[in-house]
Amino acid sequence: MSEKKAVLLDRDGTLIVDMVYLNDPERIEYLPGVFEALRLLRDHEYVFCVATNQSGVARGIVDVRNLDEIHRRIQAKFCSEGVDILSFHSAPYMTSFDHPMRKPNAGMLLEAARWHGVDLAASWMVGDRMTDVEAGHRAGCRSALVGVMESPENFHHFRPPEVHAPNLLDVAREIVARS
């Protein structure tokens, strides 16, 4: 079986509006262009997994059952839009705890690759934070930064992203152009 190329995605600020410790599945709000972006990437033979830091669980702000339901609903919505998200990987650890699963470490990406036979060298990590970019690089992927939340110039200790664009659709177009 040949390995797949994947786009590994951050959740908050990349696929959905960052509600800061989203605990209510009714409050999921999708960012503009995300369905079109993933359909474009799907049509270029990418598969998808989500890797999300979730310190809200460790803080007692996010209930793990709600987190599971949020992920179930996101997966179902993307499925109804013609996109299969293979799995969700979350790191429910405090920001101060350098857990191997928590971005900027590569644990969640490596886990997704193991689960689904992903060729990390042919894959991308996409997120709205430089910790997402760094996690991708540490896993052996190329990385893309979405939006203006953070600027690579302010994070000299991390390698810059290969792509930086204002939204996921523009990132998807750049990934396809580089495929």
Q: Which residues contact 173 (CB under 8 A, 6 or more apart)?
A: 40, 165
Q: Which among 12, 68, 119, 170 is annotated as catalytic?
A: 12
| Cα–Cα distance, 142 to 13 (Å, whole number) | 19
Q: Is 10 designated active site? A: yes
Q: Helix, strand, coil proportions of the chain in percent (round to 5)? A: 40, 20, 40
First and final C-alpha spacing in the chain: 21
Give me the active site residues, please. Answer: 10, 12
